[in-house]
Structure 1
Amino acid sequence: MSFLWFLSNYRNPVTEALALGITEFGYQIIPIVFLAVIFWCFDKKTAYKAGFAFCISGLIVHGIIKIFVRIPRPWILDKDFTPVKKALKAATGFSFPSGHSQAATSIFGSFFTSCKIKWMKILCLIIPLLVGLSRMFLGVHTPKDVLCGIGMGVLSIVLVEYAYPYLEKGIGMKALLLPLICMVASVIGVIEGYYFFSKGIIDYINVKDCFQCVGASIGFCLGYYLETKRIHFQMPKSVSQGTIRVLVGLIILVALKVGLKLVTGENPFIACFSNLVLTFFITAGYPYLFEKIFKNRNGNAYEK
């Protein structure tokens, strides 16, 4: 807590606004949009690797560790400490580990390992560190939370870098390693989360975070299988085609998210299904639309 108190001395409207902006790179919208754009228009393989790292680390952090150890937020640990109020909306659930740090590390760290452009590589390395620092500056996580979140992200990247070539080529039992980890972690998360929730040990916010990660992982894995086995979409042939693809995809994605949010209520299984639909749309639903339907209207729209 002493480090958080030290950082709080430098809070002012400008630094708080800067930290709030940086922390968004570890929240839902920016990482997912970044991943979707890379996947739809630039590099499927890198996006798949980042997606697996994001799902695995997210399941471990939100689906297993957070609701098992149940460490309170800093302002609960120290009643005299006050976080930045505007950061509280995204500071749901328990404190350890940091989900923002995990998300930023797993996604941007994955692109760091694959990117060939030096300035982008440096940026992908810096972003997770800045996100972690912003979480502490805003007073919603301790250094221990952030370090563990980053560590989970790094470990997931190492695992994916090792296992993805086997998955891609379908080599032996190792080809099942990544989907199997997602499946086992999802089952553990559902059982653990629902048990603690049904016993009143955790509230809806905590079980929702857990079930959302489970749904996102299931949707991603299903989408991966269908796209790699059945759809095989191609990258856009021009900047204009890529721009249209992204704009249309993001509009549909936002509409889906808003529509699903209206019907979720406080049911963890519906929250799970909602995220399943969103990740499945990104990885298979939308690729099917622009590869099979849009291409039929304009046969030379994409390269083959």
Structure 2
Amino acid sequence: MEWQLELLTWIQSFKTPILDAFFLVVTASAEEFFFIAAAAWFMWCQNKQLAQRVGFAFLTSTVFNPTLKELFAVERPIGAYGIESMRVETAPGYSFPSGHTQSATSFWFAAALGIKANWIRILAVVMISLVAFSRLYLGVHWFTDVIAGVFFGLLWVFAIDRFYSYCVKNNKLSLLWLVLLPFTIAYLLYPENKPLIVSFGASIGFLAGIQLEHRFIQFNVQGALWKKLVRFAIGLLILLLIKSGLKPILPFNEALNDLIRYTCIGLWITAGAPWLFQHIKPLND
């Protein structure tokens, strides 16, 4: 780890308040709020099929990441001599591979596979690179963590995107549940790992919602811009109510409560909100 510590020290030698602010914003682009907002906009207002495809690859990758962290159990550079770590609240648990980097890689690579345009490919490379570097600059990951985050993100999405496309093309969406089987084992092995629980719950709800939407709802995202904006606002408001409102009333332990809440969030994004919008005629003409 000596050379990696020297690398982090060298990177942080360029720290300034402006760069601090910039990389804090960059690292926030690989966190929950951004991904929820992006999934909601595309699912309800822009391109439902793309949102389902990208969302499934991304969410399952974010379950894969904490599973890998538990297996490798590498300590973070937080607290290492000469390292100033920032935004440590976004860096729980083990270090390898970087969750932010793998999340950014999974999201942007999946988006690039779905959109197939030069601008998204360029944006994907830029965003993945910036997020990876931000984790080094903020002193919360080693260099090998971010390289592994990119590697596992690319590898996972490449495989899952192909499997997802096969299932959709052949109308075999039920086969997608096979992807979650190994993570059920991970959930049972690591029942207190919050990132794993959150992503696992969201994946369950998201996949269940995809199947319900395909079979019963078939929501049409088209409409005037004002209708899309109203849908987006209503949908996000209810999502926040689910996220915050369920927390104090669920009667189980924190881990199980989180699993239920995020399952509901995934289900709301893919099926609940589309069903609601389908039945509000002014938003669906």
Question: Alpha-carbon deviation of 1:98?
Answer: 0.9
CA contact (8 A) 1:22 1:134 kept: yes
* Deviation of 1:119 (Å): 3.1
* Aligned pair partner of 1:75 in 68, 71, 78: 78
The Cα offsets for residues 80-101 of structure 1, whole Å up to 9 and x where unpaired, read as: 143333x111111211111111
> How many Å separate the matches in 2 of 1:231 and 1:103?
29
**Cα distance 1:188–1:41, how it changes in 2: closer, same or farther (>3 A)?**
same
What amino acid does structure 2 have at the position aligned with 1:123?
A: L
Partner of 1:225: 211
Q: What aligned pairs does 1:158-177 form with structure 2 within 5 A after superposition?
A: 158-170=158-170, 176-177=174-175
Change in CA separation of 1:81 and 1:189 when aligned onto 2, cut-off 3 Å: farther
Q: Give me the whole-angstrom Cα distance separating, in 2, the residues matched to 1:116 and 1:54.
A: 17
1:207-255, Cα deviation, whole Å (9 max, x unpaired) = 1222112111111111111011111100132111111111111122222
Alignment of 1:107-186 (within 5 A): 107-170=107-170, 176-182=174-180, 184-186=181-183
Deviation at 1:36, TM superposition (A): 1.5
Q: Which amino acid aligns with 1:31?
A: F
Partner of 2:245: 259
How do residues 32-111 of structure 1 correspond to structure 2 at under 5 angstroms?
32-62=36-66, 64-76=67-79, 79-85=80-86, 87-111=87-111
Q: Deviations over 1:182-221 (max 9, x none)?
A: 2x13212212103xxxxxxxxx5xx122211211111111
Report the CA distance between 1:73 and its aligned residue. Answer: 0.9
1:187 maps to which residue? 184
* Distance change in 2, residues 1:262/1:124 (3 Å): farther
**1:271 aligned onto 2:258:** yes
Cα distance change of structure 1 residues 171 and 221 upon mapping to structure 2, 3 Å threshold: closer
TM-score, normalising length: structure 2: 0.91
8 Å Cα contact 2:78/2:85 also seen in 1: no
Quote the offset at 1:29 in angstroms.
Answer: 0.6
Q: 2:159 & 2:176 partners in 1: Cα distance? A: 8
Retained in 2: the 8 A contact 1:109–1:154?
yes
Segment drifting more, 95-104 vs 148-157? 148-157
Contact 2:57 2:161 (8 Å CA) reproduced: no
1:266 deviation in Å?
5.6
* Preserved contact between residue 59 and residue 199 of structure 2 (Cα < 8 Å): yes
Provide the rounded CA distance (Å) in 1 between the counterparts of 2:130 and 2:145: 14
CA contact (8 A) 2:60 2:200 kept: no
Distance of 2:152 and 2:135 partners within structure 1: 16
Distance 1:83 1:218 in 2: 37
Q: Secondary structure, in 3 states, of the residue corresponding to 1:160?
A: helix
SS of the counterpart of 1:26? coil
Distance 2:194 2:241 in 1: 21
Q: Which residue of 2 aligns with 1:198?
A: none
Instruction: Provide the identity percentage.
Output: 30
Amino acid at match of 2:210: Y
Query: Does the 8 A contact of 2:54 with 2:114 survive in 1?
Result: no
> Structure 1 residue 27 and structure 2 residue 27: aligned?
no
- Asked if the contact 1:53–1:110 (Cα under 8 Å) also holds between the matched residues in 2, the reply is yes
Q: How many residues align?
A: 280
Conservation of the 8 A alpha-carbon contact between 1:26 and 1:128: no
Kept in 1: contact 2:277–2:284 (CA 8 A): no
- Ranges in structure 2 where 5+ consecutive residues have no aligned partner: none
Quick check: 15-24 or 142-151, which moved more? 142-151
Q: Given residue 181 of structure 1, which amino acid in structure 2 is its aligned partner? A: V
**Counterpart amino acid of residue 177 in structure 2:** P
Separation of aligned partners in 2, 1:260 and 1:97: 31
Pick which of 162-171 and 14-23 moved more: 162-171
Question: Aligned to 1:220, what secondary structure does the other structure show?
Answer: helix
Q: Using the TM superposition, name which of 116-125 and 243-252 deviates more.
A: 116-125
Amino acid at match of 1:271: D
- 8 Å contact kept, 2:60–2:199: no
Contact 1:160–1:178 (CA under 8 A) maintained in structure 2: no
Instruction: Work out whether residues 59 and 210 of structure 1, in 8 Å CA contact, stay in contact via their aligned partners in 2.
Output: yes
3-state SS of 2:280 partner: helix
